[in-house]
Amino acid sequence: MSDTNSCGCEGSCHQPSSTTQTLTELDFSRGIWQAVVDGDIKAVQKCLTKKSVDVNVRDTGGYTPLHYSVVKDQNIDITRLLLENGADVNAATRSGGATPLHRAVLKSQLQTVKLLMEHDADAKARNNDGLTPVDMAKSAPHSVSILNLLTS
């Protein structure tokens, strides 16, 4: 049995899988997504150095690693790393049409919103509810600061 995960990382990058996991859960836990969720920049870097890993790989809901990294400003270095490696800043999820910017605004992640805007995130992109990140920012904590970032 090999110690290499589906993303090409060594087995030590991720926690061992449970025997009750579905194949989808197993793919997630062994893929780049879990390294991003865990905030493990070294594991993300290791995954990205493997030629077989697509920085824009989607899970079953259409979320990319960037969608997972943007929900916490503590992950800003991971978000930057993903963007520098070609992450699609405007990728929309299948389940709700949310872009990474929608998610960062929803979670009031000021530094992440700023970084996404510096990488040409579309502040006018509409999710499946017809809302833009600008619309969402109007009711978010730190709304004035976020709106300034989105409209400047």
Tell whether 10 is covered by a domain: no
Q: Which of 17-21, 62-66, 95-99 has the lowest mean pLDDT?
A: 17-21
Separation of alpha carbons 12 and 95, rounded Å: 32
**Is 16 within a domain?**
no
Q: Which residues contact 142 (CB under 8 A, 6 or more apart)?
A: 108, 110
Let me know if residue 7 belongs to a domain.
no
The reply to whether 81 falls in a domain is yes
Does residue 95 contact residue 61 with C-beta atoms inside 8 Å? yes
Q: How many domains does the chain have?
A: 1
pLDDT tier at 7, thresholds 50, 70, 90: low
Q: Which domain holds residue 83?
A: 25-151
Q: 27-41, 80-94, 127-141: which has the minimum mean pLDDT? A: 27-41
102 belongs to a structural domain = yes
pLDDT (0 to 100) of residue 23 = 46
Of 38, 66, 50, the C-alpha closest to 10 is: 50
pLDDT greater than 50 at residue 42: yes
| Domain contains 13 | no
φ/ψ (deg, to 5) at 17: -80, 150
pLDDT for 27? 56
Q: In percent, how much of the chain has pLDDT > 70? A: 80
Amino acid at 109: Q
Stretch 1-23: mean pLDDT: 47
pLDDT at 142: 77
Rounded Cα distance between 120 and 100, Å, is 12
Is residue 29 assigned to a domain?
yes
Asked whether residue 100 is domain-assigned, the answer is yes
What DSSP designation does 4 have? Answer: B
- What CATH number does the domain containing 145 carry? 1.25.40.20
